[in-house]
Amino acid sequence: MNTFQGALSSGAFTVTAELPVIDQADVSACLRLASALAEHVDAIQLGDHLPDTARVSSTALAALLLREGIDVTPTLNCRDRNRIALQSEILGMRAIGVTSMLLVRGEANSVRSQSLARRVFDVTGPELIAMAREIDENRLLLGTGDQVPPPGTDWNASALLEQSAAGARFLHLHPCFELDLIRSHMARLVEEKITWHYSVILTLSPTEQGVDSCAQMIRDVSGIPGVSGINLVCRDDPGTVISCLRSAGPLPVA
């Protein structure tokens, strides 16, 4: 079985696919989507709850995918669970065989939200990462997320360094469609030595970019110093993601 952790440790240019949020109990379509993608990617990334929407438990979905021989990188956030619930999720994921996790603070609920759910934030992002590291430091690969900041943003590396010190080892950058911004930000990450601490994964959206544009973006970002791989957002058609990867051609060793 291909694994996200194995691909990163081998130095290969790593490719994952991110599945859409599943907000109903019937996950058969999601499993078919993951199966179609599995032979083309190193792992499937599972998002956590959206700010206003309950979704199928990442632990339950991860168990179903692992049973099919598909590696997964589930996401946990601090917004929706207290520390005991988060510890329980991490323990449950390890029990079913999860070897990598994306741990984030989580977005606050929208001011227009109709949700009655209260935001928890019992722990911070770095505390969540440290918690997971203490549970299983030797076998869990932990990551966190960040954005490519727009021009003029007063960005500094302190938050990423704090999360690295807590135990994060890979960094997912949210979708950005401006190649010059990506190059500029990656240059800063290299200059600040963030890439000494993290494997950096760029998120791309084939649906929003189109196959040809996304394939070209894959080729372009694969040559940027410090980029270790890509995460392709899959809406409902695995053929789009597969076509993008085939059109991009062979990818380099990171």
Domain ranges of the chain: 4-108+118-248
**pLDDT score at 184:** 95
Give the CATH number of domain 4-108+118-248.
3.20.20.220
Residues in the chain, how many? Answer: 254
CB 129 within 8 A of CB 144: yes
pLDDT at 112: 52
Inter-residue contact 169 to 199 (CB < 8 Å)? yes
d(CA 77, CA 96): 19
* pLDDT given at position 226: 96
pLDDT at site 222: 95
Residue by residue, pLDDT tens for the chain (254 residues) are: 889 999 999 998 999 999 987 778 889 999 999 999 999 999 999 988 766 677 888 999 999 999 999 999 999 999 989 999 999 999 999 999 999 999 999 876 555 555 677 889 999 999 999 999 999 988 999 999 999 999 888 899 999 999 999 999 999 999 999 999 999 999 999 999 999 999 999 999 988 778 999 999 999 999 999 999 999 999 888 999 999 999 999 887 65
Answer whether 43's CB lies under 8 Å from 71's CB: yes
What whole-number distance in Å separates Cα of residue 211 and Cα of residue 53?
Answer: 29
Rounded (5°) CA angle 187-199-120? 105
Nearest by Cα to 75 from 95, 96, 50, 52: 50
Helices (H), the chain: 4-10, 28-38, 58-67, 83-96, 125-135, 158-166, 179-191, 206-209, 211-222, 238-248
Give the pLDDT confidence score for residue 22 in this predicted structure: 78
